[in-house]
Every structure is written in C-alpha cells, then in structure tokens.
A and B are shown apart, each in its own frame.
Chain A
Amino acid sequence: MDSSTLIAVASIATAGLTTGIGCMCPALGEGRAVATALTSLAQQPDASATITRTLFVGLAMIESTAIYCFVVSMILIFANPFWSHVIAQAGGK
C-alpha cells in the first residue's frame, strides 16, 4: 500500500471514528444534564427561569466538544493538508 492510499484510508477512517465517538459522549452528558434539570424543575418550579437559563448555557458548553469533533472530521475530509500535498505531488509528476 503506497503512501497516498495510506493517507486516504487513515483520513477517512479517522473522520468517521471522530464523528462517531464525538457524537456519543456529549449526548450522554447532555442527557444527564437535562435529567437533573427536570428533577430540580419538578422540585422548585419557581426557579424555572434560572434553571432553564443555566441548563441552556451548560448544554452549549457540552455541545461545543461535539462541535470540535465535527470540525476535525470536516477538516480531515475537505481541507486535509496531507491529501492536498499528495495530490499536488501527483499532479506535479
């Protein structure tokens, strides 16, 4: 297997794995956050504005790790510097 094939296989496999794991783990964390928020809303409905606002801020912080994984996958597929280098070399030959 020459280097260009190896780069392609590694990029595609890593992109899929990154998105897969990067979507599972934040989803677990967000599920726990929402479950706890629902419990506290049931116990104290008066504080619902504060609880809801804090819940959304916390969910956005957790979501940002999923976004990091997504951005890395997009870079691997669409803006991959190693692949561009290989293509430039193959085009130059």
Chain B
Amino acid sequence: MNLSSDQQILWQHGFFKLNGTIVTTWAMMIAMASGAKLITRNLVAEGSISRWQGTLEIIVTSIEKQIREVGLDQPDKYLAFLGTLFLFVATSSLCTIIPGFQPPTGSLSTTAALALCVFIAVPLFGIGSQGLAGYLKSYTKPTLVMVPFNIISELSRTLALAVRLFGNMMSGVMIIGILLTITPLVFPIVMTALGLLTGMVQAYIFSILAAVYIAAATLVRKPKPDPEVRPAPSN
C-alpha cells in the first residue's frame, strides 16, 4: 500500500523521476498563479466589483486581519509568506474532492519543505526587525542557561509542523482508501467531508503557528522607563 503520492512514479527517464507529488504540486501552482493573474488583470477601486475580485479581496483582508490579531502590526511585510502558506495547504486539501487526486501535502517531503521554509523565515524576519545582535540575544532571554533549550525548541517545533500536517493529510487519504474496500457506499463520502474539514483547519493552524513564531521572533521589547526620573514634589 503506498503511504503517499511519492511512490506513484508517472514518468521516468534515467535518474530523473516525476512522481505524483511533483506533478500535483506544479499543477496546483500553475492553476493558482494563472487564476490569480487572470482575476487581478483589471482591478477596480470603486463602482461595481466583479465577484471574483470580491472573493479575492475577502480572502486577502481576512488573512491580513488574522495576522494583525496574532500581534504583528505591519501585516503587509508578512502577508506574502503567510498567505501563500495558507493558500497552498488550503487549496491542496480542497482539491481532494477531485476524484483521483492525492494531495501533495500528504507526502512528508512537501510538508518538510514547508516546515523548512518557516524555519528559515523566522530568523530572517527576526533579524530584519531586531538586527543580528538583538535576535541572537533573544535566545538568551530568560537566562543564559536556556540557550540550548531554545535551540532545541526551534528544531522540535519545525519537526512538529511537518509531521502534524503530513499525519493529518495522509491519515485522511488512507481512511478513505480503507473504507472504500469495506463499506463502499456512504461512509467514504462522510469521511471525505471530515477530511475536508480537518484539511482546512490544518491549513489555518499551519499558517497561524508560523505567524506566532514570527511574532515571537520579531517582538521588539519596549525600553524600561528610567527609574531615576521622578516628578518633582510640589511644596
């Protein structure tokens, strides 16, 4: 039984192999990018907005609102990265409706790549907002003893991001496959609906956790007020 779409080899030529994950990822990327390009060709600011533009506006403004609620007060800097994460994972779980589609996030390589992107992005954003010295000092934050623990927690939360998404997607696909051999009529449809729900929740969780990690890294602590300054006592 193949656990993920990595094992479906669609075309191979010597060393170079095209497996199901690569094909579905590229197909989704081309579909999303060309759809977005088509819709945003003639943006209008007022008057009657086409419904496609309205849909995209709803999506973008709600992602921006969520980023602001997490605590990042300039969402424009992070909107591209976090929005892309959310849209990729959400589209991949939404497309499981298409018969014969194996979501690319059901493969550990895709989720590991996404988690590595978050792992690299968090220090980049942290250094961008606090400077290299400030960011490195944040590792020593409670006490100096905590430096190895902070590093370990960075690595383990990256691993947790990858395995959480992989496990949820792969288990959804596998449950449906197993049920198709046992009770083919109604239960696979119910499990597909449940898989859709958990897929969207996992997309939201992935991007919100990435936003929380970035917010923790870019938190600029306010300087403590000078304790010597005191208002002059009135006589």
Contacts and interface: CB of A to CB of B under 8 A. Distances in A.
B109 interface: no
Interface string B1-18: 101000000000000000
A71 B167 contact: yes
The dominant DSSP class at the B interface is helix
Interface size class of A (residues with CB under 8 A): 10 to 19
Contact of A57 (B168, B174, B205): B205
Contacts of A60: 164, 201-202, 205
A82 interface: no
A57 B208 contact: yes
A64 B171 contact: no
B171 A70 contact: yes
Interface string B130-157: 0000000000000000000000000000
Interface string A7-38: 00000000000000000000000000000000
Interface of B: 1, 3, 69, 160, 163-164, 166-168, 170-171, 174, 201-202, 204-205, 208-209
Given A71-B166, A74-B3, 10 more contacts: A56-B204, A57-B205, A60-B201, A60-B205, A64-B160, A67-B163, A67-B167, A74-B174, A78-B3, A79-B3
Interface of A: 50, 53, 56-57, 60, 63-64, 67-68, 70-71, 74, 78-79
